[in-house]
Chains A and B, each alone.
Chain A
Amino acid sequence: MQAAGDIEGGEALAPVEVVEAAAEAVAEIRRDLERARTLTREAVGALQASFQTLNGKVQAQRAALEGLVKELVTTTGSADGIAGITAQMVDGFVQEMVRVSRDGLELVGLLDDMAVQVNEVVARSGGIEKLARQTRFLALNARIETHRAGEAGRTFKLVADEVKRLALESAQLSEQIGIVVGETRATLDKSRARATSMASHDMASAISSHRQLGEAIGKYQLVNQTMNSALDEINAQVTAAMRAVAFEDALASLIDGACRKLDSLGAAVRILVTLVPRSRGGDTTARMVIDLLRGQASAAAE
């Protein structure tokens, strides 16, 4: 365009000088175009490299996120993932709690059966006591009878004393059984209380843990979905951008076309140089040629 400026003052120039200035302008436009092509190629190259880096980062981010989500969450019930393992632990804990409750209930039932059996022992022991009382009464009667019998009842008195001693021992035995039964009952009561506490557990903490875990898994999955959607979008945008910067090829081809046209124009101008008169001063033909050149040069530059 610098050359066109020079041509502006061409009123005083010879036609040949005007044409030479035009030739130089054409050459300069061609150089500008080549520079533009080089600059565009470099810029587009840098842009493509940048997009490729961005794409690589997006892919790496996706892989990292997928790894993290896989580690933290998988579908409920799966053995993989921290959440899956935690869910299994909670399930195992609850199942164990229910099983212990069931065993505790069975144990309470067995202890109740045992209490019935102990009551049976108490009832039988009451029978022994009754027998001992009757025997003691019998011994007392026998002793009274031996007094009546006098000397003849002396031997029988020994038997009556022995019966009395046996009655006392029976009574003592019954008493000892009563003590042991009392202890057994106390032990049974303690065992029953322990089994009862084993069987009864509030489910609140298990329900709460289960719910929190479910919510956490839901949140992780939502984050995963959101991040994946965002990464998909970025991926699509990067791909579209990379496609868009491929305009550089089309641009280079347009510039090549323009350069070829300029080359033709340059050749035409060089021929004109040989044709125009070398005298100074204005000339109608020269003026027309200059106008033509000016028009072509500005069209080529555009």
Chain B
Amino acid sequence: MPARISKSNEGETLVINIAGSFDFSSHRDFREAYIRAPKQGRFLVDLTQVTYLDSAALGMLLMLREHTGDATRVTIRVGSGQPRDAMAVAHFDKLFTLT
């Protein structure tokens, strides 16, 4: 079952909220959430409600990073547990701003 993905705007920041299991099945919804947003804007991906993510989810985040062309504009909010562990293993703290 794909993760639930919703988006909202906070000023110039596009907030993408994801809940549930974030994996390959979410790739279309995730891409749709950001693809039409201005590239120059800021992005906040909120993964605090994500219970599990796989390598495809990390790949999607990399694609968002490439889409913006500037990793400093992408912030990922992640809770503890498996999602944070997976990001730590992939050294995502060096690729994104993790909070």
Contacts and interface: CB of A to CB of B under 8 A. Distances in A.
B62 A98 contact: yes
Contact of B59 (A90, A199, A207, A211): A199
Interface in B35-90: 53-56, 58-60, 62-63, 82, 85-86, 88-90
Given A95-B90, A196-B24, A207-B86, A202 B54 contact: yes
Interface in A88-105: 90-91, 94-95, 97-105
A200 interface: yes
A199 B89 contact: no
Contacts, number: 75
B53 A203 contact: yes
Contact of B55 (A106, A203, A211): A203
Interface residues of A, number: 26
B4 interface: no
B7 interface: no
Nearest to B30: A105
Contact of A102 (B31, B53, B62): B62
B16 to A, nearest CB: 16
Given A106-B63, A196-B24, A200-B24, A101 B88 contact: no
B27 to A, nearest CB: 6
A179 interface: no
Contact of A203 (B24, B31, B86): B86
Nearest to B87: A203
Nearest to B86: A203
A165 to B, nearest CB: 47
B89 A105 contact: no
A206 B89 CA distance: 7
A133 interface: no
A196 B54 CA distance: 12
A94 B89 contact: yes
Interface in A59-113: 90-91, 94-95, 97-106, 108-109
A103 B59 CA distance: 8
Nearest to B66: A102
A210 interface: yes
Contacts of B58: 98, 101-102, 203
Contacts of B59: 98-105, 199
18 contacts: A90-B89, A91-B89, A91-B91, A94-B90, A97-B55, A98-B59, A104-B59, A105-B24, A105-B59, A199-B55, A200-B23, A200-B54, A200-B55, A200-B56, A201-B56, A202-B54, A206-B89, A207-B85
Top 3 A-B pairs ranked by shortest CB distance? A101-B59, A102-B59, A201-B55
Interface of B: 23-24, 27, 31, 53-56, 58-60, 62-63, 82, 85-86, 88-91
Given A102-B59, A201-B54, A211-B85, 5 more contacts: A95-B90, A102-B58, A105-B56, A105-B59, A106-B63
